[in-house]
Structure 1
């Protein structure tokens, strides 16, 4: 599977200029069977990344623009009365897809946010007492604007914990932005991308990722980082056990992407700011990522 996986990364790099790290982290999340939260300003390529990923794996893509009047049934679907058959028919909502982009998730009300996060966790939706399984794989890329908070409902930390990774694409460098403009005339759009993996391949890759070895010393290193977040005075709420599990699975996925069947401490150090930071509540307005980097300097490397 190494060759088609490399083609998938090449596909994404064709349409995303200078975002190799972000692409790698998104691939880590999907292989670790998690979801991603992108905290970024508009116009940096979040939608383009989601669409290119869906085309590259021959998957369905749906996009939801969150607004305060969005209802849970607008996501999950609802039963519609059909007078011809004199019965209710289920009309699935946009969550019944493979790649789901949830734009500005913090503009939805807490009730709608909860419905989405339940779907993310259970990969199923229950409507009027009937449970419907979602397609596999099911992968959510949610976005929120970290600058504009007027008319928003920020995700509480307990719900942020449902996202495997949180990251930012950021503005491109000047040379990368110039390259992006030059590509408008010479490079085809993402719509011309050819699938290089199937949905079945993604499922197979996820199973292979679970076979990557994380030896006992590295397990203790992961646990040491997680427990340090609960014992530091600058942090009022540390990382949950779910965070430790996600860091373990993400380490397996990154090692797999790098062509190894074993994890190393550098994998954990690279992933920790993206896996742990959004799970913390800090004291005194400390920066979450800066605190995680401090912990990485404190906890001994095996």
Structure 2
């Protein structure tokens, strides 16, 4: 198997916590000019971006799932592709395909829509499981393999997938392996009264996305990612995360608990949350804030009367209430 050489690394600017806070505020304000009344959803999207993770947004049509992704891409000047998942979409439509060139008498790889900094998989659960699985390698290893050749994806790389509630017509459940590759899952929800009235007033005569200009560069995003990784995590916090994961795995209502990947991604998210709050170290509060957002979509519940009273969020809250919180260092 051959590997296509990675592009020359970009020159990253120097970045500290104050610089990150300034740029994240600019990005947040830019997105909020398009998405009204959803500060927690926007915060989760920014945390996911700086963790080099992927975001799953589940909600009914028309609440701004795709618009959030487009606003984020525009704000950071990222290359952007949108993939509309349908039952007849093929894996090669996502990843790309090798086409025979009559002139060179050789096969030439034509990259698919996945080759962008930010990829929106719209209504991902309307495609067949085979097509959904085309994202697995790209999301985990940030590469695509075709006919024995591996092609590197741009960096940073983020998938924002939207899905309709599973009970809606024409949907397929995402496989466990795919759900585990999403760092976080959020629901947009309907806007509040004032937010929806403001949206009707501002969006009725114009599209704010057309006026949104980049407030940050891809190089700056990459530098922020590097800085976030350096946040300090005490051994007690690491043990806390592992014990929380162990609680979910041993719970009677859970068939499949939090994986080691889930533990790693929760710790990464906690590092990012700490940095956004102006700290270079992680607190138990950072873990507790994000546990349900990062883990709930990964837990596979058992069937039966007992488990029907337990949702994934309930199990995670039980874990947070049961596992001892590490004492602060003196």
The corresponding residue for 1:235 is: 254
Q: Give distance in 1, aligned partners of 2:85 and 2:287.
A: 33
Cα offset for 1:193? 1.4
CA offsets 1:241-289 (integer angstroms, 9 cap, x no match): 1111011100001111112111111111110001111111223232111
Q: Does 1:293 align with 2:317?
A: yes
Q: Give distance in 2, aligned partners of 1:245 and 1:85.
A: 46
Cα offset for 1:181? 1.1
Query: Cα 1:153–1:218, aligned 2, differ >3 Å: closer, same or farther?
Result: same
Cα offset for 1:185? 5.7
Q: Does 1:192 align with 2:216?
A: no
Aligned with 1:48 (options 55, 63, 67):
67
Q: Does 1:258 align with 2:282?
A: no
Partners of 1:4 and 1:197 within 8 A in 2:
yes
Q: Give distance in 1, aligned partners of 2:46 and 2:235.
A: 25
Cα offset for 1:120? 0.8
Cα offset for 1:104? 1.3
Partners of 1:41 and 1:147 within 8 A in 2:
no
Q: Secondary structure at the match of 2:246?
A: helix
CA RMSD, aligned part only?
1.6
Aligned with 1:169 (options 188, 203, 219):
188
Moved more, 146-155 or 70-79: 146-155
The corresponding residue for 1:106 is: 125
Q: Give distance in 2, aligned partners of 1:234 and 1:79.
A: 46
TM-score (ref. length: structure 1): 0.95
Count of aligned positions:
302
Aligned with 2:79 (options 54, 60, 69):
60
Partners of 1:230 and 1:239 within 8 A in 2:
yes
Query: Cα 1:301–1:92, aligned 2, differ >3 Å: closer, same or farther?
Result: same
Moved more, 85-94 or 155-164: 85-94
Aligned with 1:274 (options 293, 300, 312):
293
Q: Does 1:155 align with 2:155?
A: no
Query: Cα 1:175–1:108, aligned 2, differ >3 Å: closer, same or farther?
Result: same
Cα offset for 1:188? 6.0
Q: Give distance in 2, aligned partners of 1:251 and 1:234.
A: 26
Q: Give distance in 2, aligned partners of 1:135 and 1:147.
A: 31
Partners of 1:157 and 1:278 within 8 A in 2:
no
Q: Does 1:220 align with 2:219?
A: no
The corresponding residue for 1:204 is: 223
Q: Secondary structure at the match of 2:33?
A: helix
Residue segments in structure 2 that go unaligned for 5+ positions in a row: 1-18
Cα offset for 1:187? 7.3
Moved more, 255-264 or 185-194: 185-194
Q: Secondary structure at the match of 1:11?
A: helix
Q: Secondary structure at the match of 2:52?
A: coil
Partners of 2:166 and 2:173 within 8 A in 1:
no
Q: Give distance in 1, aligned partners of 2:170 and 2:64.
A: 23
Q: Secondary structure at the match of 1:179?
A: helix
